[in-house]
A and B are shown apart, each in its own frame.
Chain A
Amino acid sequence: MKKWLYVLFITFLAVGLLAACAPDREEESSSEGSSSEGSSSEDGMPEKPEKLVIWEDTDKGVGLDPAIESFEEEYGIEVEYEEMDMASTIRERLRLDGPAGTGPDVLTLPHDQIGQLAIEGLLAPLNVDESVTGIYTDASVQAQTYDGQLYGLPKATETPVFIYNKEHMEEAPETFEELFEFSQEFGGDGQYGFLGVWDDFYHANAVISGFGGYVFNNEDGTLNPQDIGLNNEGAIEGAAYIQKWYDEIFPNGIIGENGGSAKDGLFQDGDAASIQDGPWAFQALNDIGMDYGVAPLPELPNGDYPQTFIGVKGWHVSAQSDHQEWATELVKWIANEENAKVRYEETNEIPPVTALIEDPVIADNERASAVAIQSERGVPMPNIPEMSEVWGPMADALQLIATGESTPEDALNEAVETINSQIELNHSGN
């Protein structure tokens, strides 16, 4: 027995000794400091790197090629890009590759991930002049700003719009009331005048915010997660309007997890005259050869336009990049007006550049201008991490409202209570 005690004792001692072996920090920091200082050139920019790496969304690289070519010519820095799914892959890979030193210099992200990644220390704030940010719409720059700092330059914007089948509808209605009357008369069994997945908060926000609700109060450009406006008078009124549509027009079959695909199927089969959906739906409609029109969403009964969530895709600089100054230059280059226009022509993703929205390439394109106009009426999706607590409870509440199991007031109060406690639980004190 005693022998074992000795062995245990010695083991602890050894581990204790080893645990005390902290790496020698002084050396590391001094050597790193000198290397970066010694290499800066005269114009305040550090020495040029050999190459910069960009992570771009799948199949969107074609829009980058011309910009990269001219950048390489101008600065003599080689630029490579890699394509991967923007919605989740880039974030997941950045978390591993960034700190490991194998990450990109420049990457693209949907703006609602900015807050989370900035907190994790994976994105670097951008230092650019007003003259650079001035060319973009205010909403898109706001979307790229987190906690008072700019974390990227806008690349493209998207938001749900009104899509209608020209076979059933000659032109888009002016108001939702018109649309409601049309829907009551339209078609027969299993046919619908308008469909929107309004139990998904992303789409429902158009109505709820249009009536005066809001997610987080915007206080001088900073979102306040303590001030949630999803159960205020306007929000309840909006939810009641949503309930009215489900009551009288929408089928129960578009409620829930697979509601979106049910809605797509009905519209593509010609059983729905119009839908609310984003520009990502265009491709499938082109593929089946439908003759469809696109317009901004019609006016709500209270006289205001629906405030859809705007999604802004942006260019960002990795905080782990060794060449942040040059990466920033690259971001400015590929996001400038000229390259944004080229990118729009190649990818059809609408750049939130004020001058381009009025440019004939967009203004004369029915689909693009509908998205651009709706984008001006919308609000940027909150980019603070507290937003992740909103989706679930709101989806739950909207589902209860859609099925009529709960009154709008009860459901929204319940949801806001859950959101508040979840925010307190997961996002407080740090």
Chain B
Amino acid sequence: MGDQEKQYSTNHRKIALALSIIPGFGQFYNKQWMKGLGFFILTASFFIAFSDLIQFGFWGLVTLGTDPTYDHSITLLVEGILTVIVTVLGLAVYILNLRDAFKVGKQRDLNVAPNSIRQQYQNLVGGGFPYLMMTPGFLLLIFVVIFPILFVILLSFTNYNLYNSPPANLVDWIGFQNFLDIFQIPIWRETFFSVLAWTVIWTFGATTLQIALGIFLAVLMNQKEIKFQKIIRTIFILPWAVPAFVSILVFAGMFNETFGTINNDILALFGLEDTPWMTDPAYTKFALIMIQTWLGFPFIFAMVTGVLQSIPNELYEAADVDGATIMQKFKNITLPLVLYATAPIMITQYTFNFNNFNVIFLFNGGGPAVAGQNAGGTDILISWIYNLTMTSAQYGKAAAITMILSLIVITVALWQFRRTKSFQEEDMM
């Protein structure tokens, strides 16, 4: 550093940086009038527009209100999050301003002429164009995605429930109490773990089956000997074309124990017409996994069919020459290539089923009842959270369980993604 400092005969960069504490003035000092004016107007309008929000936003976020007659804790929480987002955006522009003044000052110190307005414009349009195009979408994402996530995270540290609901009362910060309660209060702990266990079985059972069936049918349909391939393929895609909730409701009717066609027409042929599909948890679980397999396999089937057609035939010919059996060919050529191309999507299928609310809720509402716990026999975490929130108004606690659930999904997804070959640089072919 010492050697470098000596090279500068002037000190424009430091002066520009110091002046930039009031945004725009550093640029004025560098004689970049338009840019300076831009920064100055931006800052001024920022303070004019947001001064109220920033003034009370942090106060609201920290206290969540002090007097229920005037303060609505949830509104304050929302405004607080907005304040944080706005402040971060403001600081980003401010840092950009400092950095710009310093950089241009340094250029002047090195006796390089600063960019003219025309050059600045070209820089902006040339180098900054992708960023410029991204900005509206990015801002939208901040408010549509990041904002609700922050809201749930913060909510899980509050005691927001029926008795602390605004406008009559205030919500307070309670730290990790919600999380501790879930693991310490027996009825919640027991229900949590039994629901978690079924959620895991459900996720792996249903997803693995739908993937296996999809791949099996795709490979089968890809054999050259099979006729009417197009018609059969179309039929296999059909379950995908019907909206899932319609299929589920139809299935719920078909599985009805007394009037449903499954018991009355199909199983009656085998003398099994009294199967308790809706009233015995084990049977309901079995039916649910079968239904999800039905709903989910066409997507895998369609995707794998596409991949199969891109596998070069030479690989199979070479295998034939080496005398490989069908199973060997499948195990060593087809499966690795299919999984290589589709693994990320397969993993998202697992995370999707982990939170597959529709099937559980529409088929039997999480039922049938099980003695000794406050969730139904087929409730998965997400449908249990739904019931907890809707019947007990335990918003804070539901947010805490949501956090635990997200943590599980994120961890598993990240771990699997990292292990997947698709995300490593090496080439498979």
Contact = CB atoms under 8 A, between A and B. Distances in A.
Given A21-B55, A25-B67, A252-B276, A99 B371 contact: no
Contact of A121 (B166, B279, B374): B166
A255 B278 contact: yes
Contact of B70 (A28, A388, A397, A430): A28
A251 B258 contact: yes
B420 interface: no
B276 A393 contact: no
Nearest to A255: B279
Contacts of A392: 374, 387, 391
Contacts of B194: none
Interface stretch (A79-87, A163-171, A308-316, A398-406): A398-406
A317 interface: no
Contacts, number: 141
Nearest to B391: A388
Contact of A396 (B161, B165, B259, B369): B369
Interface string A107-149: 0000000001001111000000000000000000000000000
A425 B187 contact: yes
A10 to B, nearest CB: 11
Contact of A119 (B75, B165, B252, B278): B165
Interface string A18-51: 1111110100110000000000000000000000
A375 B279 CA distance: 33
Nearest to A387: B391
A256 B276 CA distance: 12
A99 B364 CA distance: 37
Is the interface on chain A under 10, 10 to 19, 20 to 34, or 35 or more residues? 35 or more
Contacts of A418: 187, 374
Interface residues of B, number: 52
Contacts of B252: 257-258
Contacts of A121: 68, 165-169
A427 B165 CA distance: 13
A114 to B, nearest CB: 13
Contacts of B63: 19, 22
A406 B371 CA distance: 9
Interface string A89-112: 000000000111000000000000
Interface string B99-138: 0000000000000000000000000000000000000000
A18 B167 contact: no
A122 B162 CA distance: 12
Contacts of A391: 391
Q: Is the interface of A mostly helix, strand, loop or mixed?
A: helix
B168 to A, nearest CB: 2
Given A252-B276, A256-B368, A18 B58 contact: yes
A116 B162 contact: yes
Nearest to B284: A256
Given A21-B55, A392-B374, A392-B391, A258 B68 contact: no
Given A15-B58, A391-B391, A397-B369, A99 B374 contact: no
A403 B371 CA distance: 13
A258 B165 contact: no
A385 interface: yes
A253 interface: yes
Give the residue among A190, A403, A414 with the most B Cβ atoms within 10 A.
Answer: A403
23 contacts: A18-B59, A21-B56, A21-B58, A22-B56, A22-B63, A25-B67, A98-B167, A100-B75, A121-B167, A122-B167, A122-B168, A251-B258, A253-B256, A253-B259, A253-B260, A256-B364, A262-B258, A320-B167, A392-B391, A400-B371, A403-B276, A403-B279, A410-B371
Smallest CB-CB A-B distances: 6 pairs: A121-B168, A253-B258, A396-B369, A430-B163, A251-B258, A257-B365
